A and B are shown apart, each in its own frame.
Chain A
Amino acid sequence: MINKIKVFFTLLLLMVSLAGAPLNTAAQSNETYAIRNARIVTVTGAVIEKGTVVIAKGKIAAVGANVSVPSKARVIDATGLSVYPGLIDSGTTLGLEEIGSVAGGQDTAEIGDNNANLQVIVAVNPSSSHLPVARVNGITTALTAPQGGLIAGQSALINLAGWTWKEMALKTPVAMHINFPTGDGAGGRGGFDFGPIANPRSLVEIRREQDKQIDKLKTILNEAKIYGEAKDAKAQDSTLPKLDVDLKKEALLPVVRGQMPVVIEVQMARDIKKALEFADEMKLKIIISGGVEAYKVADLLKAKNIPVIIGPVLRFPANEDDAYDAPFTNASQLMKAGVKIAFQTSDSANSRNLPYHAGMAAAFGLSKEDALKALTIYPAEIWGVADKIGSIEVGKVANLIITDGDPLEIITQIKHLFINGHQVPLTSRHTELYEKYKARP
């Protein structure tokens, strides 16, 4: 219940701030900045070879080659530098974990099959050292998602700076996350375990188990649907018997009514097909996540207009006899088929390497333009926040990076960083340790 209240207030806060009324929330900066003489890669429009971006009240106030600089603006001379929208990592556990082996800091996976009512945002630690490490490499926004059970819970889009998780929340909840049961003995993240390798199950057994788990998912969703119908009926007719509140079913109502997207974590082609059948039957609005074999069902995904969050790209192929570069060419094959894509690291500590996942996909056939878009405007569209982030356009949140080159290239340096219009210092636990020990006599 407390969770729900928190979410309510978060949503309220977001609605209020986005309506533009009180702009003195700490989430947004009151400072005005003008980034001058910059090469501006707007992503949605043409590149402006030499122009100005004005940031005011946390938003992009003006963009163009001939923009007047407000008198009170702090000016950043970006001669020789480029401005890009902040990059978006579409699948992380940022804020939910600190040190892998230390259980006390692990909040990624709850116990139980059905965790539909969990809100990831309340567990995001704004002081996590992973956040500055990611943002100083240009990641300004991330989807942080729960991982445990068949139904893992609800994700949030967070900006990687803020005093509290409320300030960090760009959108919450974003989606319901389901770990799709695999029938391939590989793939799915944290869904359920097929037992020790010493006692491998046959494919037949694995698939029987998969069908059982899918049935379980269907039952959970159908029960939520019935719960919703009972609730509606009760609203119409107060003489009907009292209906006990069920938080899990309550949380699934927007899902079964097609209002909240479902992110289905699934890797193998056969499982993806099964997931699509499941989604059709349950009338869900879905997004595929992981999808290492999505390229094998690209046409099907296109026909059903299902976006794919690809990643990690930097991984092994799913099968021994797959081409060595199968995970690298996945993105370009999906793009060619017309599927909407975005990238994720599925990581926290090294979310900073997001650009190199996209870069590897670009080395293996994806155009550089699409690689950048799959880190900016495509995820903004997929997550329903294209009006707020993902490009350099007037009115959007001022999440910007200023670089000395292509942000997908490893040797490129980030020179300035803006989140919510705040100029965020380019320091992290790593730069601090570096400076400290560089100075050791």
Chain B
Amino acid sequence: MKKVDAIISIALALLLSFATSAQSLPHTATQVTPKSNAAILKQPLAASAAPPTNAPAAKELLITNATILTASHGTIKNGSILVRDGKIAAVGANLKATDANAVVIDATGKFITPGIIDCHSHTAVEGAINEGSLSVTSMVRIQDVLDPYAVNVYRELAGGLVTCNILHGSANSIGGQNAVVKLKKGKPVEEWFIQDAMPGIKFALGENPKRSNNLGANVTQRRYPATRMGVEETIREAFIKAKDYMREWQEYEAKKANDPQAIAPRRDLQLDALVEILQGKRYVHSHCYREDEILMLLELGDEVGFHVQTLQHVLEGYKVAKEIAAHQTGGSTFADWWAYKLEAYDAIPYNAALMTQRGVITSINSDSDEHARRLYLEAAKTMKYGGLTEEQALRQVTLNPAIQLGIDKRTGSIEVGKDADFAIFSAHPFSVYTMVEMTIIEGEVYFDRKQDLERRVALKKEKEELMKKEREMRQKGHMPTGRPAQPQPLPGAIDEELLDHGHIKPETQEVRNDQ
């Protein structure tokens, strides 16, 4: 009997401590162990598919003689940037490194922008991006399913992309928790998370949570909500529950000081995330299209007590830009993607410019790993459509998404004290003839076109040698050991293409997620 009591009391104690710790929000993206930038800098790059990069042994990096598009305070011609311990130490003319071992990059004739930021990405997510079983899945987390070896990450780095807001899909009225990362390819994924980024969550309105498209023959998968009315009620109901839950915890906290027998409410991971939203500790990033649903969410936030940090896609944001601006809500949209579904039929490429001109902090996002590698060109479209200035346009993929993600104190522009995140271009980043030559994250080179080209030659040679060797062994009648099981060769001679392609499944045409 005594033993059982002891077990129960231990279990209770454990439960209590677990419940108490819920108050300190362990279930967030910020639980990743912080590491200093210096520590990161000292680590050599792990082996990866990426070409080896110049991981600087020196603490200082000096980039000289470039045209610097700061995104915050204009363009500096013939400028230099001094980086120390992964941070921007100085920006200006004729800078000198204090460290004799500093890495120097001569960027004569080149253009430098802040590292590109994508406020709507699904990159490196392993498997499905939707937990589609319920319409409220605030408990699931993108941070748990990131694949640092995803091939697209390198392709994105080759487009100057540094920071991504990796979002859950849009199947649910309230989706899962997002992750804000830097694409530190070759580093353990734990080091990708931006430690001080505000945690966030995906909401979704309109056709996707309604599931009016794409169900095909699976009509049995219909579920509530199936209308925009139902989406509003689903979100309202979830927050009503969350408020009750929050009150229960507050009452418990108040009671517990005087009453050691007080029993904590049962922990609910789904509601924990919603409570964080109500307490202003978690950003809402809501997928939306039409003006009606945009206005609905802003009003619902006012009613229930949550702030919408960004409206994602927000293709009709230009129709209610005034209302969005009044709520201090950001808009993250596409440059010119439209007509792929009914709610995208009134999408116009002037959206970002109109919202900007009405005072909305606006960004251009990709929602596509392929578009993500040329976001700088997507940003240029906001100059063409609606006449944003060059700096306003550049901010669409740098400073503005940083503000929207709450990371503008550390990145998004080229200013002293910020992270040394850059893209170096061969020509003006808004020229169609430009090319990213180098991508730098916190002072480390993660993409270098020159090295990429050199590595191609080496890889080609290595591949030819390996194929030759394998061919010879096959001709001698024995397969190399240790090779994974392969399909039986076709009748006849050795199939060169099987050697060539058999090991990698070709990718099909890129399709936008819109999710």
Residues of chain A whose beta carbon lies under 8 Å from any beta carbon of chain B: 98-102, 129-130, 184-187, 189, 200, 202-205, 207, 268, 270, 314-321, 323-325, 348-350, 352-353, 355-356, 359-360, 362-364, 368, 408-413, 429-430, 433-434, 437-438, 440
Q: Which residue of B lies closest to A101 (CB)?
A: B341
Decide if A364 touches B435 in the complex (CB within 8 Å). Answer: yes
Q: How many A-B residue pairs have CB under 8 A?
A: 148
Decide if A316 touches B319 in the complex (CB within 8 Å). Answer: no
Report the separation of the CA atoms of residues A324 and B155 in the bound assembly, to the nearest whole angstrom.
6
- Given A408-B432, A430-B348, A430-B350, the answer on whether A186 and B507 have CB atoms closer than 8 Å is yes
Residues of chain B whose beta carbon lies under 8 Å from any beta carbon of chain A: 151-152, 154-155, 158, 207, 213-214, 318-319, 321-322, 336-342, 344-346, 348-350, 354, 369-370, 373-374, 377, 380-381, 383-386, 430-435, 452, 456, 487-488, 490, 497-498, 501-502, 504-510
Decide if B490 touches A100 in the complex (CB within 8 Å). Answer: no
Hey, which chain B residues are within 8 Å of A434, CB to CB? 318, 348, 350, 354, 385-386
Decide if A268 touches B506 in the complex (CB within 8 Å). Answer: yes
Hey, which chain B residues are within 8 Å of A99, CB to CB? 339-342, 344-345
Hey, which chain A residues are within 8 Å of B377, CB to CB? 356, 410
Report the separation of the CA atoms of residues A189 and B510 in the bound assembly, to the nearest whole angstrom.
12
Q: Beyond A185-B505, A320-B505, A433-B318, list 18 extra A-B contacts (CB 8 Å).
A: A98-B339, A101-B207, A130-B339, A184-B506, A203-B487, A203-B501, A207-B490, A316-B509, A323-B456, A324-B373, A348-B339, A363-B432, A363-B434, A409-B431, A413-B384, A429-B348, A430-B338, A440-B322
Report the separation of the CA atoms of residues A319 and B452 in the bound assembly, to the nearest whole angstrom.
17
Report the separation of the CA atoms of residues A315 and B371 in the bound assembly, to the nearest whole angstrom.
8
Report the separation of the CA atoms of residues A433 and B338 in the bound assembly, to the nearest whole angstrom.
13
CB contact between B154 and one of A102, A318, A324, A348 (< 8 Å): that residue? A324
Q: Which residue of B lies closest to A328 (CB)?
A: B435
Decide if A349 touches B339 in the complex (CB within 8 Å). Answer: yes
List 21 A-B residue pairs with CB atoms under 8 Å apart, sorted by A's residue number.
A99-B342, A99-B345, A101-B213, A185-B505, A186-B506, A200-B505, A203-B502, A207-B490, A318-B507, A320-B151, A320-B505, A325-B158, A349-B337, A349-B338, A350-B337, A350-B338, A362-B433, A363-B434, A363-B435, A433-B348, A438-B354
Decide if A353 touches B345 in the complex (CB within 8 Å). Answer: no
Decide if B380 touches A411 in the complex (CB within 8 Å). Answer: yes
Q: Which residue of B lies closest to A319 (CB)?
A: B506
- Given A356-B432, A411-B430, the answer on whether A204 and B337 have CB atoms closer than 8 Å is no
CB contact between B504 and one of A100, A207, A319, A433 (< 8 Å): that residue? A319
Helix, strand, loop or mixed for chain A's interface?
loop
B126 CB, nearest partner CB in chain A, Å: 15
Decide if A187 touches B452 in the complex (CB within 8 Å). Answer: no
Decide if B370 touches A362 in the complex (CB within 8 Å). Answer: no
Report the separation of the CA atoms of residues A99 and B501 in the bound assembly, to the nearest whole angstrom.
37
Decide if A204 touches B490 in the complex (CB within 8 Å). Answer: yes
Hey, which chain B residues are within 8 Å of A363, CB to CB? 432-435
Report the separation of the CA atoms of residues A325 and B373 in the bound assembly, to the nearest whole angstrom.
10
Interface centre among A99, A319, A411, A412 (most CB of B within 10 A): A411
Q: Which residue of A lies closest to B213 (CB)?
A: A101
Helix, strand, loop or mixed for chain B's interface?
loop
CB contact between A187 and one of B340, B374, B385, B508 (< 8 Å): that residue? B508
Hey, which chain A residues are within 8 Å of B435, CB to CB? 363-364
- Given A316-B507, A356-B432, A364-B435, the answer on whether A184 and B501 have CB atoms closer than 8 Å is yes
Hey, which chain A residues are within 8 Å of B338, CB to CB? 349-350, 430
Hey, which chain A residues are within 8 Å of B341, CB to CB? 99-102
Decide if A352 touches B336 in the complex (CB within 8 Å). Answer: yes
Report the separation of the CA atoms of residues A202 and B452 in the bound assembly, to the nearest whole angstrom.
32
- Going nearest first, the 4 A-B pairs with the smallest beta carbon separation are A359-B432, A186-B506, A101-B341, A100-B340
B337 CB, nearest partner CB in chain A, Å: 7
Decide if A318 touches B432 in the complex (CB within 8 Å). Answer: no
Hey, which chain B residues are within 8 Å of A409, CB to CB? 431-433
Decide if A314 touches B370 in the complex (CB within 8 Å). Answer: yes
Q: Which residue of A lies closest to B431 (CB)?
A: A409
Report the separation of the CA atoms of residues A349 and B213 in the bound assembly, to the nearest whole angstrom.
19
Hey, which chain A residues are within 8 Å of B342, CB to CB? 99, 101-102
Hey, which chain A residues are within 8 Å of B490, CB to CB? 204, 207
Q: Which residue of B lies closest to A206 (CB)?
A: B487
Decide if B319 touches A349 in the complex (CB within 8 Å). Answer: no
Q: Which residue of B lies closest to A321 (CB)?
A: B504
Report the separation of the CA atoms of residues A187 and B350 in the bound assembly, to the nearest whole angstrom.
34
Report the separation of the CA atoms of residues A314 and B318 in the bound assembly, to the nearest whole angstrom.
27
Report the separation of the CA atoms of residues A433 and B152 in the bound assembly, to the nearest whole angstrom.
36
